A and B are shown apart, each in its own frame.
Chain A
Amino acid sequence: MTFYDKFLIISLVIISVIFIISPLANILVEGNNLDDQVIIIQAGDGSRQKIPLADTYREEPVIIKVAGPIGVSIIEAHNGRVRLKEAPPEDPEKICEKTGWIDRVGPMIICVPNQISIWIEAKESELDGVSW
């Protein structure tokens, strides 16, 4: 073991410890913001509204009105879930209303007559790990 060996080893240890501690300290200071999913509401003209799921944890539900070809749909987001609360009366089947709440990545609320789709998307890749 030469002097440079020891220098290399000690500096590697120090650097890695710093990089381990600094993100942890960040989490302690700023709180865990891993909950970074967004609700995406897409209207018939392709325009999108994004609402962070974290913003729906309030006493009052978030109400969004989206106008489509047959009327105005009322969308409600509350406590980390979202539903299409009220389809316009012209909607014959009201399938989107019957879909109910969705609270995770995967399911989707689709309203064909009013051309609205609602889903939850993760900001980061959905893969959370690979083992090797």
Chain B
Amino acid sequence: MIRTRKTVVIGLLVAMGLILHFVESMIPMTAIVPGAKLGLANIVSLLGLVLFGFQGGFQILALRILLGALLAGTFMTINFYLSIAGGLISFISMFLAYRFFQDKFSLVGISVVGAAFHNLGQIIVAYFIIANPGIFYYLPYLVLLAVPTGISVGLVTYFTLRYLPGAVISIN
């Protein structure tokens, strides 16, 4: 029963992540800093991490990136590599922050860590693609923007968790 419920919740979170991903692509953040994103889909990764730990969160992240790329038609393109690099490094850093510094950081701090590392991962992959070290000059702009978006993502996750019924929370 609990396994089924867990599967359903993971499926729901993946679906929400996909929708958030598309809603996000409609918001022209690129007008401010090219390449910048709100990172709304990070909400579900963080939720998954908090609800189901590393394994569940990772499933949600991987499924979201894969299905998102297939739906948007960017599978195996530069976008896909950037997305998967940013997603993985951001998730791993959030997991480490959540696992070892849970008493120090709230969800807001963990989300900011994830957002900053997301940019770092993307810039590193972008460096390997365009082979121009000048791309690193771009990192501070992205990190500066990652701070407010990370805070908002963390707050959304926090309030979503408070709002969720106990049945969902107690799955794990």
Q: Which residues of A contact B (CB under 8 A)?
A: 1-2, 4-5, 8-9, 12-13, 15-20, 23, 124-125, 127-132
Contact = CB atoms under 8 A, between A and B. Distances in A.
9 contacts: A2-B104, A4-B101, A5-B106, A8-B105, A12-B112, A19-B137, A124-B134, A128-B132, A132-B79
Contacts of A23: 137
B141 A16 contact: yes
Nearest 8 A/B pairs, CB to CB = A5-B109, A16-B140, A19-B140, A4-B104, A16-B144, A16-B143, A125-B132, A20-B140
Contacts of A129: 34, 130
B82 A8 contact: no
B156 interface: no
Mostly helix, strand, loop or mixed at chain A's interface? helix
Given A8-B109, A12-B112, A20-B141, A130 B78 contact: yes
A125 B106 contact: no
Nearest to B131: A125
B154 to A, nearest CB: 8
Given A9-B147, A12-B147, 10 more contacts: A1-B108, A1-B109, A2-B104, A4-B101, A5-B106, A5-B109, A8-B112, A12-B116, A19-B140, A132-B83
B108 A17 contact: no
A13 B134 CA distance: 21
Contacts, number: 75
Interface of B: 30, 34-35, 78-79, 82-83, 101, 104-106, 108-109, 112-113, 116, 122, 126, 129-132, 134, 137, 139-141, 143-144, 146-147, 151
Given A8-B105, A132-B82, A13 B112 contact: no
Contacts of A20: 140-141, 144
A62 B151 CA distance: 57
Nearest to A21: B140
